[in-house]
Chains A and B, each alone.
Chain A
Amino acid sequence: GAVVSQHPSWVICKSGTSVKIECRSLDFQATTMFWYRQFPKQSLMLMATSNEGSKATYEQGVEKDKFLINHASLTLSTLTVTSAHPEDSSFYICSANEGNIQYFGAGTRLSVL
């Protein structure tokens, strides 16, 4: 299947700093990528849909000014968590569609101290 690379896999940061997470489609082009968040023992929660060359579409309740998404090319989307706080600590996962099959990156575990 298609490969989606996500980096970094784990990040620890101080409260108030910003963290950037990258998501790349390695062997296919993805006009649409998705960003999810998952808290321990809970289900995936879609945060936003990242659209190449245009603004991301955010799900209800997700602050677009806090979670900045940039999809500048057909193979790269980035999620920046701005002014991170401990409550932002979570597992962030990106995905991309090849055809109508969604493939996931390995995820980024964010810990905000």
Chain B
Amino acid sequence: QKEVEQNSGPLSVPEGAIASLNCTYSDRGSQSFFWYRQYSGKSPELIMFIYSNGDKEDGRFTAQLNKASQYVSLLIRDSQPSDSATYLCAATTGGFKTIFGAGTRLFVKA
């Protein structure tokens, strides 16, 4: 069973702090990794994707991938209350099957 594991949280951080969200995956054949944000009652929206080992930065967001450790993370700098949401990690194998984690709830305190 191919899995993507996330801590369900909630992860609570103060406004302005760095939020660190983590994810591990079981399928070594996974090639593409994604972070989605889902607000309550809404559908997921893509934040970032990463294919190669290392860091990828986009504004306040940084995705980190370590294929040897089968580990993906998302850092959110200068966290804002509007970042409060559930963050879904996803991994895709060579085909188009995407496996989603259960999500981590993030709460940014004003």
Partner among B43, B96, B103 whose Cβ is within 8 Å of the Cβ of A100: B96
User: B92 to nearest A CB, angstroms?
Assistant: 5
User: A11 to nearest B CB, angstroms?
Assistant: 15
Interface residues of B in 51-110 (CB under 8 A from A): 88, 90, 92, 96-98, 100-103
Give complex CA distance A44, B42 in Å: 12
User: A26 to nearest B CB, angstroms?
Assistant: 15
Does A54 sit within 8 A of B, measured CB to CB? Answer: no
Interface residues of B in 32-61 (CB under 8 A from A): 32, 34, 36, 41-46, 49
Q: How many A-B residue pairs have CB under 8 A?
A: 42
Interface residues of A in 59-113 (CB under 8 A from B): 91, 93, 97, 100-107, 109
Using a CB–CB distance below 8 Å, which chain B residues touch chain A? 31-32, 34, 36, 41-46, 49, 88, 90, 92, 96-98, 100-103
CB contacts (< 8 Å) of B41 on chain A: these are: 91, 109
Having A93-B43, A100-B32, A109-B41, one finds 11 other A-B pairs with CB under 8 Å, namely: A6-B43, A32-B96, A43-B102, A44-B100, A49-B97, A101-B32, A101-B34, A102-B98, A104-B36, A104-B43, A104-B44
Q: Is A107 a contact of B49 with CB atoms below 8 Å?
A: no
Give complex CA distance A97, B46 in Å: 12
Q: Is B44 a contact of A44 with CB atoms below 8 Å?
A: yes
CB contacts (< 8 Å) of A34 on chain B: these are: 98
